[in-house]
Structure 1
Amino acid sequence: MTEQSQAAQEPKPQRRMRKIAMTSEEVDAFLAEQRTCRAATNGTNGPHATPLWYLWDAGALWFSTLSKSQRWTDLQADPRIAVVVDAGHDYAELRGVEIRGTVEVVGEVPRTGEPNETLERVERLMGERYFNGSYGHDGRHAWMRVNPDKITSWDFRKIPQG
């Protein structure tokens, strides 16, 4: 996909576990408060899962990755990805979101800071979230946007206790 392509259509509705699913507002709030996701890619030797910092903004998940990493190689060969963000310790506290979709590279590879309207907001928000206000370019990372095809959520706090 190209940077100019439209974001993915509205994700498919959740069909299972709807009684404990989060509302779209709850999904947005949950993804804004959590800090780490786990991203799974399809590699030539099978699945590859890694933790990442991320940004949830305007219905898309953003991350910056080393452009010479296994994740990058996997996603160049097959842009499909599954991402999970979850929280909770005890059974009745468990909640989370799974996002399935495709990645789209945004900006130059690797990112050196060329002006890019789309990335200005993303880098500002990422800097505020993880880097005390300033996001830097190291010439080794590149930006990817996950355009969700399906979002599944669960919140065990919605299960009646008794």
Structure 2
Amino acid sequence: MAGATRRNVRTPGTWAPYPWPPTRSAPGRCIGSHCDTGPREGRAAPRFIPVVNTAEARRTFRDVRVAHVASLLPGGEPHVVPLWFVWLDDAIYVSCRRASVVRRNLERDPRVALEVERGSAWTEQAGALIRGTAELLPSDHAGAKKALSAWFDKYRSELAGRGFAAYTERVGEPVVFRVRPDRLSTWIHAQAPPGSRDPGPP
């Protein structure tokens, strides 16, 4: 995410909502706890980064189709793969193949990071980076069953027709791991357009 401004926040805490599409602030004005001081000479205008809590981030990014999941290989190198996920009230649940590298990595070292993003035009793109500890769940675990039910609802269109048969042929029964965010970072490319006005306090 070159050029994006990041803001790191720890959970739990009290933060302002993260609306979508993103709220934009005019230079030199404040919205909530964030002040946009406007462009400095020779520098690009700062991006407006809403401060978020986990619930607002979940509502913003839960319909994203893929999370990029980073785990650690035996030698300490990062291993990143795109995986399907559901972001429920209590945690993020991610599916992977039973024989996958990511599953072996998490069995050895449960530290994990997930990145999700949305938006098409550069000025619309936003994302979240979640760091936490992964917990591999057995198939009969109540959390795994709940997550898979939501997972099938979310990816119903991808699994329509021959999709489900092809998925089961190649993947079989997915393994589910649960991630409760320890640290949440957000980034956004949106910035105040010329001539924009401060909408005032909420």
Cα RMSD of the aligned pairs, angstroms, is: 2.9
1:12 shift after superposition: 5.8
Q: In the alignment, what sits opposite 1:131?
A: 156
The one-character-per-residue Cα deviations of 1:25-45 (angstroms, maximum 9, x if unpaired) are 541222222111100111124
Mark the CA change 1:141 to 1:91 in structure 2 (over 3 Å): closer, same or farther.
Answer: closer
TM-score (norm 1): 0.74
Report which of the two has the higher share of helix: 1
Unaligned runs of 5+ in 1: 1-9
1:120 and 2:151 aligned: no
Q: How many residues align?
A: 143
Q: Is the 8 Å Cα contact of residues 72 and 78 (structure 2) preserved in structure 1?
A: yes
Query: Which digits, 9 at most, give the CA deviation of each residue in 1:7-33, with x for residues without a partner?
Result: xxx7266xxxx6503533541222222
Query: What stretches of structure 2 of length at least 5 have no aligned partner?
Result: 1-9, 14-33, 35-47, 195-202
1:143 alignment partner, one of 152, 173, 176: 176
Write the letter of the residue equivalent to 1:119: A
Secondary structure of the corresponding residue to residue 120 of structure 1: helix
Amino acid at match of 2:193: Q
CA, structure 1 residues 22+95, in 2 after alignment: closer, same or farther (shift >3 Å)? farther
Structure 1 residues 48 and 65, CA gap change in structure 2 (3 angstroms): same
Shift of 1:155: 2.7
Tell me whether 96-105 or 44-53 shows the greater mean CA deviation.
44-53
Deviation of 1:161 after TM superposition, in Å, equals 2.3
The alpha carbon displacement at 1:140 in A equals 4.6
Shift of 1:139: 6.0
Q: Which whole-Å CA distance do the structure 2 matches of 1:26 and 1:92 have between them?
A: 20
Of residues 24, 37, 55, the one that matches 2:67 is 37
In the superposition, the TM-score normalised over structure 2's length comes to: 0.61
Q: Is the 8 A contact 2:61 2:118 kept in 1?
A: no
CA distance in 2 between counterparts of 1:37 and 1:22 reads 21
Q: Secondary structure at the match of 1:33?
A: coil
Q: How does 1:12-161 map to 2 (within 5 A)?
A: 19-21=48-50, 23-24=52-53, 25-45=55-75, 46-107=77-138, 111=139, 114=140, 116-131=141-156, 140-157=173-190, 159-161=191-193
SS in 2 for 1:20: coil
Which structure shows the bigger proportion of residues in strand conformation?
1
